[in-house]
């Protein structure tokens, strides 16, 4: 019989085998915080003394589209009337 585990407030991070550039994370995975799922990314870095550490970033898996507060640009042709 398969056991089910409560994975709330836990996660896992793995070596990123699809890394294509230096800006892509060295490690990727997922994380659950109080029932909300997140993507987690990690970059291997070195501090000023040369000691290695892992820098982390998280973002929600169900990320909401960002609302821009900047006004939308008008095209030059927006105010142009074509008489037909």
Q: Note the pTM of the prediction, 2 decimals.
A: 0.65
Q: What is the pLDDT of residue 64?
A: 61
Q: What is the pLDDT of residue 72?
A: 55
Q: What is the pLDDT of residue 44?
A: 96
Model confidence pLDDT, tens digit, residues 12-69: 999 999 999 989 999 999 999 999 999 999 999 999 999 999 999 999 998 666 665 5
Enumerate the domain spans of the chain: 1-61
How do 27-33 and 36-46 pair as beta strands? Answer: antiparallel
Output the six-digit token pair for 68.
Answer: 């821009």
Q: Is the CB of residue 27 less than 8 Å from the CB of residue 15?
A: yes
15-to-6, 8, 33, 69 alpha-carbon distances in Å:
24, 22, 21, 37
74 pLDDT above the threshold of 90: no
Q: What is the pLDDT of residue 1?
A: 66
């Amino acid at each position: 019989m398969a056991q089910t585990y409560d994975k709330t407030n836990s996660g896992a991070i793995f070596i990123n085998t699809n890394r294509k550039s230096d800006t892509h994370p060295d490690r990727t995975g997922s994380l659950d915080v109080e029932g909300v799922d997140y993507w987690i990314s990690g970059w291997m870095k070195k501090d000023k003394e040369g000691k290695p550490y892992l820098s982390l970033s998280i973002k929600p898996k169900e990320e909401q589209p960002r609302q821009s507060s900047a006004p939308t640009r008008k095209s030059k042709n927006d105010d142009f009337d074509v008489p037909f």
